[in-house]
Structure 1
Amino acid sequence: MLVEDETDLLLFPPLRAMWSPRGQPARVMLSGWNARRVVFGCMNLATGHRLFQIRRHQRAQDFQAFLHQVHRHYRGWQVTILLDSDRSHTANESRALAGQLGIRLLWLPKRAPELNPMDTLWGQGKDAMSANKQYTNIDEQADSFITYLRSLSNKEALRASGVLSPHFWLKHVFSKDFCVPA
């Protein structure tokens, strides 16, 4: 059982919080132009292992490229991916490819990002690597973001994403056949 999600990285930094002298606004240097990358990612709920892929867009063909990566990594396994109903996921070509690759797609309820552990992991990665920092270019930022997320041990990733919480919602939904850690 894998959970999948995407996140946008923008060259303009998300401004979270920073110190400045009292009465003076904090200065954040910006390059003057914005760029974007989309990071596709999934996490194995049993092991915490993660896969990532950086793309320029979040279109159906980009999601399909990620499905191919998942298939290569989990060749021979019965894979179920829990994901939202983004148009790139629900496109006929994406669903057909998942079927051809033997990947079962299981849909989360609409407008419920809090149910996807990847959403929490993205937020922590952005706080650590992107907040209040202007990178030279978007590719440097994307590489730093992925490097940080890969640096987490599998157990740290499961803990950071909330999967190891006694209140994690999937513990009560699925049987132990899906191997969600206790």
Structure 2
Amino acid sequence: MLSAKKKSRIRRVLGNLPPRSVVLVEDETDLLLFPPLRAMWSPRGVPARVLLTGWNARRTVFGCMNLATGHRVFQLRYRQRADDFQAFLHQLHRQYRGWQVTLLLDSDSSHTALSSQAVAAELGIQLLWLPKRAPELNPMDTLWGQGKDAICANKQYASIDEQAAQFIDHLAGLTDAEALKTSGIRSKHFWLRKAMVKRFCRPA
């Protein structure tokens, strides 16, 4: 019931945004040097092999997508803390200067920190919280999975930075239309579809 009320509130907010508004959906994902394992082909009777170096490393990719256009912004960080999220907010402010930005995101502590909310308010970015424990409502979560399947699965790179660069290049290399389709935003079942139709301006 609480989730349904939050979804209704989000739709109302998006339906009453002022002119020159842009709605972005934001999320982060961790990349590990140890690859995620996926189903893969191998000769009959021969187990598939995934070679590992024996040591691991981590990077965090911050990303967002414009729900109207599919335009994406990414930033690579060493971790996911409040100051890292705030650095991403500054990047979004530079990218969408002159637009009223509303950011849909989850309630991670890096997002809800008072310092993060203060930076968002200073930059004129409205934070709109998604219901808790509902990753299926965030199209970026689907996009992360597609990128990991294409770039990270079953292969360990020479360095975590090489892997992260290829991961971001892959997702940034999608056309806007491909990103909207891959993430599920173009689906007739997308939960914000009605709220978005003929509502938002489209920055170049």
TM-score normalised by L of structure 1 = 0.95
8 Å contact 2:70–2:177 — kept in the other structure? yes
Corresponding residue for residue 114 of structure 2: 92
Measured in 2, the distance between the counterparts of 1:75 and 1:109 equals 28
8 Å contact 1:42–1:52 — kept in the other structure? yes
Q: 1:10 aligns with which of 32, 52, 60?
A: 32
Q: For 1:98-152, what per-residue CA distance to the aligned partner results, in whole angstroms no more than 9, with x for missing partners? A: 0000000000000000000000000000000001111000000000000000110
| Alpha-carbon RMSD | 1.3
Moved segments of 4+, more than 6 Å: none
Measured in 2, the distance between the counterparts of 1:44 and 1:176 equals 15
Corresponding residue for residue 191 of structure 2: 169
Match of 1:33, SS state, is coil
Corresponding residue for residue 200 of structure 2: 178
Unpaired runs of 5+ residues, structure 1, are none
Q: How does 1:96-115 map to 2 (within 5 A)?
A: 96-115=118-137
CA 1:155/1:174 → structure 2, altered by over 3 Å: closer, same or farther?
closer
Which deviates the most, 40-49 or 19-28?
Answer: 19-28
Shift of 1:32: 0.7
Corresponding residue for residue 116 of structure 1: 138
8 Å contact 2:68–2:196 — kept in the other structure? no
Match of 1:168, SS state, is coil
8 Å contact 1:48–1:154 — kept in the other structure? yes
Q: 1:57 aligns with which of 79, 91, 99?
A: 79
TM-score normalised by L of structure 2 = 0.85
Percent identity of equivalent pairs: 74
Shift of 1:25: 2.1
Measured in 1, the distance between the counterparts of 2:173 and 2:132 equals 31
Unpaired runs of 5+ residues, structure 2, are 1-22
- Aligned pair count reads 180
Q: 2:178 aligns with which of 136, 149, 156?
A: 156
8 Å contact 1:121–1:157 — kept in the other structure? yes
Corresponding residue for residue 160 of structure 2: 138
8 Å contact 1:45–1:179 — kept in the other structure? no
**Aligned pair 1:44/2:66, yes or no?**
yes
